[in-house]
């Protein structure tokens, strides 16, 4: 008996390693095929340029805005002040120490370089990644709030709440997200900002928040159906038992029904939030420089589509995979 079990385990291990080898061979074949195809069109891979789009060193030049003479160069700690005096007054410029390119008494013309230095700056891809993360997190937060309230209204006996929730859910789920983004930005955005200007409030809402609103309301409609399905999957006896103990409807939902329902809706919620992160790439059409739009801008200037789009896909994969792992952690915590 033991020898039979041992033989089965050996066969299982052999089969496992065989198919794992097949997977890596297929992966290597796909990479080799892509490289061969790129070689046929004389594409030059330039991976060494990619880091500069995350973090780079920029040359900063301080130029004179007036013509005149350098009358003073004052050093103070890690900085230096350069004073230029002209016919129409004088200007003082600040720069880091040891970057001065002029001397006291030099004649200066407009546009002449007084000092130059290097500074590290965040690249466009990292800025786009941050915008994607920020937009996604805010939209997920408000999407959950909207979805919970809409889901509770969906199963309410109050016809006004129920019909309002049904109308909202069907309208949002029945139209493309791209169209909703256009409506939020071009229609509602124009109306709201015009009213703010006419009321002389002094502020207008930037496109970023209309994009967040579009994503949040879109996500909220799907979350509402998940909440509804999760609540209705809990046996009715749970509600009856809670109400028999003297709990109100709100207490029953908060302390009994929703905690159990959340365990069941976490997996579909994770899928919806992963889709939300990917859907945030549509916000580039309303001039929000999220990750996809930032990648398009870099491709336009650098002519490196292969490397940059692979990097873009990898960054999205990191975001979605991290969210998936976090949700799996929450699932394990709720099952304890």
pLDDT tens, 232-275?
Answer: 777 777 777 877 777 777 777 777 777 777 777 877 888 888 88
Q: Which run of H or of E encompasses 152?
A: helix 124-154
pLDDT above 80: residue 295: yes
Alpha-carbon Rg for the chain, nearest whole angstrom, is: 30
User: What's 45's DSSP letter?
Assistant: P
Average the pLDDT over 211-221 and give the result.
93
Cβ–Cβ < 8 Å for 272, 219: yes
pLDDT of amino acid 156 = 82
CA distance 65 to 91: 8
State what percent of residues in the chain have pLDDT above 70: 97
Q: Are 126 and 55 in contact (CB under 8 A)?
A: yes
Domain boundaries along the sequence of the chain: 60-120, 124-335
The tens digit of pLDDT for each residue in 33-68 reads 878 887 777 777 888 888 888 888 878 888 888 888
Mean pLDDT for the stretch of residues 319-325: 87
pLDDT for residue 98: 67
> What one-character-per-residue DSSP string does 226-289 give?
HHHHHHHHS-HHHHHHHHHTT--HHHHIIIIIHHHHHHHHHHHHHHHHHHHHHHGGGGGGGT--
Instruction: Look at the domain 60-120 and name its fold.
Output: OB fold (Dihydrolipoamide Acetyltransferase, E2P) (2.40.50)
pLDDT class of 336 with cuts at 50, 70, 90: low
| Structure-model confidence comparison of residues 164 and 41, the more confident one | 164
Indicate if the pLDDT at residue 31 is higher than 70: yes
pLDDT tens-digit map of 93-130:
887 766 777 777 778 788 878 787 788 888 889 999 99
Residue with tokens 């805005």: 65
Angle between helices 305-335 and 258-279 (to 10 degrees): 180
pLDDT at 216: 94
Long-range contacts at 313-316 (CB < 8 A, ≥ 24 apart): 315/125, 315/129, 315/291, 316/277, 316/278, 316/281, 316/291
Instruction: Give the count of alpha carbons within 13 A of 310, CB side only.
Output: 10
Q: Which residue has the higher pLDDT, 266 or 176?
A: 176
More confident residue, 5 or 159: 159
**For 303-314, what is each residue's pLDDT tens digit?**
888 889 999 999
| Stated length of the chain | 336
Q: Is the pLDDT of residue 1 over 60?
A: no
d(C-alpha 256, C-alpha 248), whole Å: 11
DSSP, collapsed to helix, strand or coil, labels residue 325 as helix
Residue 7 has pLDDT above 80, yes or no: no
Q: Per-residue pLDDT for 24 more than 60?
A: yes
CATH architecture classification, 124-335? Orthogonal Bundle (1.10)
Q: Which residue bears the tokens 């340029």?
A: 49
Work out the burial of residue 255: count CB atoms within 10 Å of its CB; fewer than 13 is exposed, 13-18 middle, 19 or more buried: exposed
């Amino acid at each position: 008996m033991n020898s039979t079990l041992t033989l089965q385990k050996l066969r299982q291990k052999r089969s496992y390693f065989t198919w794992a080898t097949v997977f890596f061979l297929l992966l290597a074949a796909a990479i080799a095929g892509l490289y061969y195809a790129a070689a046929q069109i004389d594409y030059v891979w330039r991976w060494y340029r990619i880091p500069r789009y995350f973090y780079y060193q920029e040359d900063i030049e301080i130029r004179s805005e007036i013509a005149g003479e350098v009358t003073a160069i004052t050093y103070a700690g890690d900085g230096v002040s350069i004073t230029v005096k002209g016919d129409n007054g004088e200007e003082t410029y600040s720069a880091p120490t040891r970057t001065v390119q002029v001397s006291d008494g030099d004649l200066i013309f407009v546009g002449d370089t007084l000092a130059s230095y290097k500074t590290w700056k965040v690249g466009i891809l990292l800025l786009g990644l941050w915008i994607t993360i920020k937009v996604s997190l805010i939209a997920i937060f408000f999407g959950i709030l909207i979805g919970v309230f809409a889901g509770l209204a969906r199963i309410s006996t109050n016809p006004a709440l129920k019909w309002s929730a049904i109308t909202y859910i069907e309208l949002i789920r029945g139209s493309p997200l791209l169209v909703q983004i256009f409506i939020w930005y071009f229609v509602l955005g124009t109306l709201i900002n015009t009213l703010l200007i006419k009321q002389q409030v002094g502020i207008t809402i930037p496109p970023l928040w209309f994009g967040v609103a579009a994503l949040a309301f879109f996500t909220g409609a799907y979350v509402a159906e998940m909440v509804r399905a999760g609540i209705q999957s809990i046996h009715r006896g749970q509600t009856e038992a809670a109400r028999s103990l003297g709990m109100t409807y709100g207490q029953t939902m908060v302390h009994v029904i929703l905690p159990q329902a959340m365990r069941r809706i976490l997996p579909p919620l994770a899928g919806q939030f992963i889709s939300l992160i990917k859907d945030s790439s549509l916000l580039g059409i309303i001039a929000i420089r999220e990750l996809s739009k930032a990648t398009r801008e870099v491709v336009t200037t650098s002519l490196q589509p292969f490397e940059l789009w692979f990097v873009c896909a990898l960054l999205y994969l990191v975001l979605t995979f991290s969210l998936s792992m976090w949700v799996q952690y929450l699932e394990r915590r709720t099952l304890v």
